[in-house]
Amino acid sequence: MATTNNGWRIVEEHAVTRVYLADDGDGAQILTGDVARALGWLVEQIHTRVERVTKVNGWRSAAYNQQVGGAPGSNHMSGTAVDVNGHLHPYEAGRRSAAYGTGGWGTEGVKRVRQILAEASGLFAWGLDYNPGWRDGMHFDIAKGKTSDDVARFVATLTPVPEEDTMSRADAYGGTLDLILTAGKRDTPEGRQASDALREVLQPTVAAEVAAALEPIAADVAWLRTHGQTGLARLVREQGTRLSAVSADVATILRDAGVVDADDVADRILDRMAERLQS
């Protein structure tokens, strides 16, 4: 059985899930289940406590890994590694340099990342700790020697967001539709807060398995962040015949996320859409 450097089995695409994390609208493929939850937690912690995360890369096929010059045993091939903001934290790529230093994180950034890693009790390894010449500041993975049981124990320590808290945050923005519209204004403080609340409502950490089902919604949310309320109105007008299907999809997502009265909430979202389009 072929494994990657950390001892995990190399997997094909059917074994990974595309997860939308922080402000990365493209999503990253990560090994389905507890590994997706654990690495998702890590990325969100970095996004909240260190720097805004806009790009996350995860799983690679063996063929693609070879094409891009990845290490023969790259942990990306087992879906147990992510690259975070690679445009800000480049790979040293064999060119040992005294200037590599913090890998673009800065002294304070390194300190904060190490605090996050310490909170995970050694579950994760960081490419910044590789030997000089091969340091990779963007890279985080499940550490060598850590097993699926280790990952499961860590995930069990994560505290899910209480349902009443997530829904009250949505209510503070006038309901889920307003939350979506506000999240579209991503360059404002209100937009960032609404975006965070939206992720909590629709995609709680404890429900990583539904990430695949959330792909269409996550893609729409990423689109909304770019095009905002005007774009939403145009989209709904153009796709008016699909409103019933959209309502069913939203209800399913809300139900899977543990939202009480998901069907009623979905209906209210569609009603508010209609009201907005008529105003």
pTM confidence score: 0.60
The proportion of the chain whose per-residue pLDDT surpasses 70, expressed as a percent, equals: 60
Calpha distance 265→255 (Å, rounded): 10
Q: Determine the pLDDT at residue 93.
A: 82
Q: Determine the pLDDT at residue 166.
A: 47
Beta bridge partners of 81: 141
Class of domain 13-157: alpha beta
DSSP at 60? -
pLDDT per residue over 74-115, tens digit each?
999 999 999 999 999 999 986 777 788 999 999 999 999 999
Task: Give the lowest-confidence range in 180-189, 207-216, 233-242.
Answer: 207-216
Confidence label for 12 from pLDDT (cuts 50, 70 and 90): very high
Domain ranges of the chain: 13-157, 163-278
Q: Determine the pLDDT at residue 109.
A: 95
Asked if residue 54 has pLDDT above 70, the reply is yes
81 and 99 in contact (C-beta within 8 Å)? no
Calpha distance 108→49 (Å, rounded): 11
In three-state secondary structure terms, 80 is coil
pLDDT top residue among 101 and 144:
144
In three-state secondary structure terms, 230 is helix
* Amino acid (1-letter code) at residue 164: E
Q: Per-residue pLDDT averaged across 66-71, rounded?
A: 92
Task: Give the lowest-confidence range in 37-41, 193-197, 211-215, 230-234.
Answer: 211-215
